[in-house]
Amino acid sequence: MSAEPDGPEDRLRRFATIWSRAVFPATSTSLTRPEFEELLLPLARRLSEALRARTYDAEEGRAVGAALVEAHCTEPEALSSALDCVDAYLVLYCGGDGHQEDLRARAARLQSAMAAGYAEALRQRTLTEQEAIARAALEAQGAVARALHATEARFRAVFEGAAIGIGIADLDGNILQVNGALLRMFGVTEQARLARCVTEWTHPEDAPQVWRLYEELVRAEREHYHTEKAFYRPDGTVLWTNLTVSLLRDADGNPQYQLALMEDTTERRLLNLRLRYEATHDALTGLPNRTLFFERLEKALAAGDGQRFGLCYLDLDGFKAINDSLGHAAGDRLLVEIADRLQSCATAPGEMVARLGGDEFVALTTGPDTESEVDDLADRIMNALVTPVRIDGRELLVRGSIGIVEGPAGERGPAEVLRSADITMYRAKSAGGNRYEVADAEADARAITRHGLTTALPAALDRGEFFIEYQPLVHLGDGTVRGAEALVRWLHPQHGVLGPDRFIPLAERTGLIVPLGRWVLEQSVRQAREWQQRHGGRGPLRVNVNLSPCQLTHPGLVQDTVEILERAGLEPDALCLEVTESALIGADDDLLKPLRRLAEMGIDIALDDFGTGYSNLANLRRLPVRVLKLDRSFTQGMQQFPADPVDLKIVEGIVSLAHSLDLAVTVEGVETGAQAEQLRILGCDTAQGWYYARPGPPERLHELALVDATG
Ligand code: C2E
Ligand code: MG
Ligand code: MG
Lowest mean pLDDT among 145-149, 380-384, 434-438, 494-498: 145-149
- Cα-to-chain-centroid distance, residue 285: 17
Reported as a pLDDT band with limits 50, 70 and 90, residue 710 is: very low
Tell how far the Cα of 659 is from the centroid of ligand 1, in angstroms.
25
- Ligand 1 contact via 594 beta carbon (within 6 Å): no
- Ligand 1 contact via 689 beta carbon (within 6 Å): yes
- Which residue's C-alpha comes closest to atom 22 of ligand 1? 669
Helix (H, G, I), strand (E, B) or coil at 693: coil
* Residue pLDDT, tens place only, 19-59: 998 888 878 778 888 999 999 999 999 999 999 998 888 89
Question: At residue 372, what is the residue type?
Answer: S
Going by the DSSP 8-state scheme, the letter that residue 548 receives in this structure is -
Which residues touch 169 (CB under 8 Å, ≥6 apart)?
175, 176, 197, 198, 257, 258, 260
Helix (H, G, I), strand (E, B) or coil at 393: coil
**Atom nearest to 580 CA in ligand 1:** 34
pTM of this structure: 0.48
Helix H or strand E segment including 403: strand 399-408
Q: What share of the chain is helix, strand, coil (3-state, %, to 5)?
A: 55, 20, 25
Q: Among 485, 668, 700, say which to mutate for ligand 1: greatest number of ligand atoms within 8 Å of CB.
A: 668
Tell how far the Cα of 258 is from the centroid of ligand 3, in angstroms.
92
Q: Report pLDDT for 197.
A: 93
pLDDT at 149 over 50: no
Phi/psi of residue 41, nearest 5 degrees: -55, -50
* Residue pLDDT, tens place only, 306-325: 899 999 999 999 888 888 88
* Residue pLDDT, tens place only, 576-588: 999 987 777 767 7
* Residue pLDDT, tens place only, 353-371: 999 988 999 999 999 999 9
Q: Among 466, 516, 525, 546, say which to mutate for ligand 1: greatest number of ligand atoms within 8 Å of CB.
A: 546
Q: Which domains does the chain have, with CATH numbers?
A: 8-125 (no CATH), 162-270 (3.30.450.20), 287-439 (3.30.70.270), 453-710 (3.20.20.450)
Segments of 94-237 assigned E as strands: 165-170, 175-178, 224-232
* Residue pLDDT, tens place only, 507-562: 888 888 999 999 999 999 999 999 888 876 565 689 999 999 889 888 899 999 99
Distance CA 419, CA 383 (A): 25
Phi/psi of residue 466, nearest 5 degrees: -95, 150
CB neighbour class for 213 (10 Å; exposed up to 12, middle 13-18, buried from 19): middle
Distance CA 488, CA 511 (A): 17
Q: Among 487, 607, 635, say which to mutate for ligand 1: greatest number of ligand atoms within 8 Å of CB.
A: 487
Mean pLDDT of the chain: 87
- Cα-to-chain-centroid distance, residue 205: 37
- The answer to whether 363 and 311 are in contact (CB under 8 A) is yes
**Atom nearest to 487 CA in ligand 1:** 38
pLDDT at 707 over 60: no
- The answer to whether 357 and 295 are in contact (CB under 8 A) is no
pLDDT at 709 over 70: no
What average pLDDT does this structure show over 285-302? 91
Tell how far the Cα of 578 is from the centroid of ligand 2, in angstroms.
6
In 3D space, the residue among 244, 243, 240 whose CA is nearest the CA of residue 271 turns out to be 240
Reported as a pLDDT band with limits 50, 70 and 90, residue 620 is: confident
- Which residue's C-alpha comes closest to atom 11 of ligand 1? 695
- Which residue's C-alpha comes closest to atom 19 of ligand 1? 669
- Ligand 1 contact via 701 beta carbon (within 6 Å): no
Phi/psi of residue 431, nearest 5 degrees: -85, 10
Which residues touch 7 (CB under 8 Å, ≥6 apart)?
none
Question: At residue 361, what is the residue type?
Answer: F
**Atom nearest to 507 CA in ligand 1:** 44
Higher model confidence: residue 476 or residue 156? 476
Instruction: Quickly count: other Cβ atoms within 10 Å of residue 317's Cβ.
Output: 19
- Which residue's C-alpha comes closest to atom 42 of ligand 1? 546
- Ligand 1 contact via 499 beta carbon (within 6 Å): yes
Instruction: Quickly count: other Cβ atoms within 10 Å of residue 681's Cβ.
Output: 11
Reported as a pLDDT band with limits 50, 70 and 90, residue 2 is: very low
Tell how far the Cα of 216 is from the centroid of ligand 3, in angstroms.
87
Instruction: Quickly count: other Cβ atoms within 10 Å of residue 79's Cβ.
Output: 25
Q: Report pLDDT for 147.
A: 44
- Ligand 1 contact via 578 beta carbon (within 6 Å): yes
Q: Report pLDDT for 123.
A: 79
Helix (H, G, I), strand (E, B) or coil at 140: helix
| C-beta pairs of 41-45 under 8 Å, 24+ apart in sequence | 41/12, 41/13, 41/16, 43/67, 43/68, 44/12, 44/15, 44/16, 44/19, 44/94, 45/12
pLDDT at 104 over 70: yes
Reported as a pLDDT band with limits 50, 70 and 90, residue 287 is: very high
- Ligand 1 contact via 508 beta carbon (within 6 Å): no
Instruction: Quickly count: other Cβ atoms within 10 Å of residue 233's Cβ.
Output: 15
Distance CA 536, CA 534 (A): 6
Q: Report pLDDT for 1.
A: 41
C-alpha angle 557/562/567, rounded to 5°? Answer: 130
Ligand nearest to the CA of 524: 1
Q: What does the DSSP assignment read for 208-262?
A: TTHHHHHHHHHTTS-SEEEEEEEEE-TTS-EEEEEEEEEEEE-TTS-EEEEEEEE
* Residue pLDDT, tens place only, 165-203: 888 899 999 998 898 889 999 999 988 889 899 999 999
* Residue pLDDT, tens place only, 396-409: 889 999 999 999 99
**Atom nearest to 520 CA in ligand 1:** 41
CB neighbour class for 477 (10 Å; exposed up to 12, middle 13-18, buried from 19): exposed
- The answer to whether 396 and 385 are in contact (CB under 8 A) is no
Does residue 76 have a cis bond before it (omega within 30 degrees)? no
Q: What distance, in Å, lies between the first and last C-alpha atoms of the chain?
A: 99
What average pLDDT does this structure show over 617-628? 83
Helix (H, G, I), strand (E, B) or coil at 628: strand
pLDDT at 451 over 60: yes
Angle between helices 290-301 and 266-280 (to 10 degrees): 90
**Atom nearest to 488 CA in ligand 1:** 38
Distance CA 52, CA 40 (A): 19
* Residue pLDDT, tens place only, 215-250: 999 999 998 898 999 999 999 999 999 898 988 877
- Which residue's C-alpha comes closest to atom 5 of ligand 1? 668
- The answer to whether 491 and 482 are in contact (CB under 8 A) is no
Distance CA 108, CA 84 (A): 11
Tell me the C-alpha to C-alpha distance, in Å, between residue 537 and each of 26, 532, 640: 102, 8, 40
Distance CA 348, CA 289 (A): 19
Tell how far the Cα of 608 is from the centroid of ligand 2, in angstroms.
6
